[in-house]
Amino acid sequence: MRLLLVEDDSMIGKSLQQGLKQDGYAVDWVRDGQAAKLALQDAEYALMLLDLGLPRVSGRELLAELRRQKNPIPVLIITARDSVTDRVEGLDAGADDYLVKPFSFEELAARIRALLRRPGGAAEPIIGHGALAVQPATHEVLLHGKPVHLSGREYALLEALLRRPGMPLSRAQLEQSVYGWDDEVGSNAVEVHIHSLRRKLGPDWIENVRGVGYRIRKQP
């Protein structure tokens, strides 16, 4: 799942990006409001983490503009501003939730999962497919009721495929859902993850579609 992080503080941005990547999200990080606008035109994000005090276009202006355009992306504001007025203004401008810096990474991760679980958010409680079930909120994977341990990227790849059962996804589409811009993507990275998914889940779940890409087999 792909997130957009809008934060001009390098230290905070870097540590959030690292932590979220370890949780299995693809994270694109931009440092001002204008760059965020361009990113939003370019890619599909499940959620945006938005600082309010930003160069060029402020977080509040950006958010207000998105909501005027009826863009429904879930937005979690992360900001140092701690006055009640600021909070109310942020929520009034269309934010879904609010965290005041400094906050613990665990709390941020929990709030993100909660937003992604909401109706209209990108994730449903559980995605089931035959004997396979994944829980987007916790990244748990069960096969015949037994947990299977996947890396963050293996999980992201599996979830992307399960969201479109029977439909092939190209290698480029899969890379989009697993990697952010800053990630180095080896030329056979997707193949490597598919290989280890087949090793962990069994060979029959994911099939190659010649000249197109991969899909989850409809009737496993």
Question: Which residues would be at the binding site for Ca ion (CB under 5 A)?
Answer: 8, 51, 53
The smaller minimum CB distance to Ca ion, of residues 55 and 72, is found at 55
Find the shortest distance in angstroms from Cβ 31 to Ca ion: 9
> Quick one: which of 163, 183, 166, 167 has its CA closest to 175?
183
Find the shortest distance in angstroms from Cβ 78 to Ca ion: 9
The smaller minimum CB distance to Ca ion, of residues 79 and 177, is found at 79
Provide the residue type at 44 as one letter.
E
Chain residue at closest Cβ approach to Ca ion: 53
Cα–Cα distances in angstroms (integers) from residue 142 to residues 24, 179, 213, in the given order: 17, 24, 24
Cα–Cα distances in angstroms (integers) from residue 169 to residues 1, 20, 21, 126, 164, in the given order: 15, 24, 22, 21, 8
CB 192 within 8 A of CB 105: no
How many angstroms separate the CA atoms of 48 and 27, rounded? 10
Find the shortest distance in angstroms from Cβ 80 to Ca ion: 7
Find the shortest distance in angstroms from Cβ 8 to Ca ion: 5
Find the shortest distance in angstroms from Cβ 22 to Ca ion: 23
The smaller minimum CB distance to Ca ion, of residues 20 and 50, is found at 50
The smaller minimum CB distance to Ca ion, of residues 12 and 127, is found at 12
In the block, which residue shows the tokens 């992201």?
156
Number of other residues whose CB lies within 10 A of the CB of residue 3: 25
The smaller minimum CB distance to Ca ion, of residues 53 and 165, is found at 53
